[in-house]
Homo-oligomer: A and B are copies of this chain.
Amino acid sequence: MILYDSPVSGNCYKVRLLAAHLGLPLERRPLDVVDRSDRRDVIGELNPALRVPTLVLEDGRPLAESDAILFYLAEGTPYLPEDRYERAQVLQWMFFEQYQHEPNIAVVRFWVGWSKDRVSEEDIEAKRQAGYVTLDAMERHLESRAFFVADRYTIADIALYGYTHVAHEGGFEMDRYAAIGAWLARVAAQPGHVTIDA
């Protein structure tokens, strides 16, 4: 399989992390996340949103959106529960992640790390506050649980780990969050774990 990839994107890292757990080889083709001028030429026919990750399956069929890719690869494996309600809970947390986690926590990290001169401190701080609301919700959920769904490590954890474990790079004070900290350590201790810069 071919992964149109960015080494620094948490969304791409999610796919690489699950692929590592599953022992699936990926041919990585990096795209620039700042200069996006080649996107339409390279992945225009593969992903209407022109974003990475974009996966091309062995038979040539494309798949986009990081959490849809996770769901596809995890079907029939221990990383996606078979129970209908638990699968829906996994999706609930993945939609939570794409709707309210990534647009705040990942975007603040990107602004601080890659485009600080083009964004105001006020905009960064507004998104950072929204990010803290999201982290607060995760902390409350994890105070009584080892993992997000079904008491075990699933793609819901992988989806949320992607940008939570690098949130400090966006200036988030993660030592406020004891339950998230313990969960991050549990995820990193899973067999076959790889880091974002692996």
Contact = CB atoms under 8 A, between A and B. Distances in A.
Given A98-B99, A99-B99, A68 B49 contact: no
Interface string A85-107: 10111011011101110110000
B89 A48 contact: no
A72 B85 contact: yes
B85 A61 contact: yes
A103 B98 CA distance: 11
Given A95-B65, A99-B99, A48 B141 contact: yes
A75 interface: yes
B48 A137 contact: yes
Interface in A60-117: 61, 63-69, 71-72, 75, 84-85, 87-89, 91-92, 94-96, 98-100, 102-103
Contacts of A95: 65-68, 94-95, 98
B65 A99 contact: yes
A139 to B, nearest CB: 10
A67 B71 CA distance: 14
A80 to B, nearest CB: 11
A156 B168 CA distance: 35
A91 B68 contact: yes
A21 interface: no
A68 to B, nearest CB: 4
Nearest to A63: B88
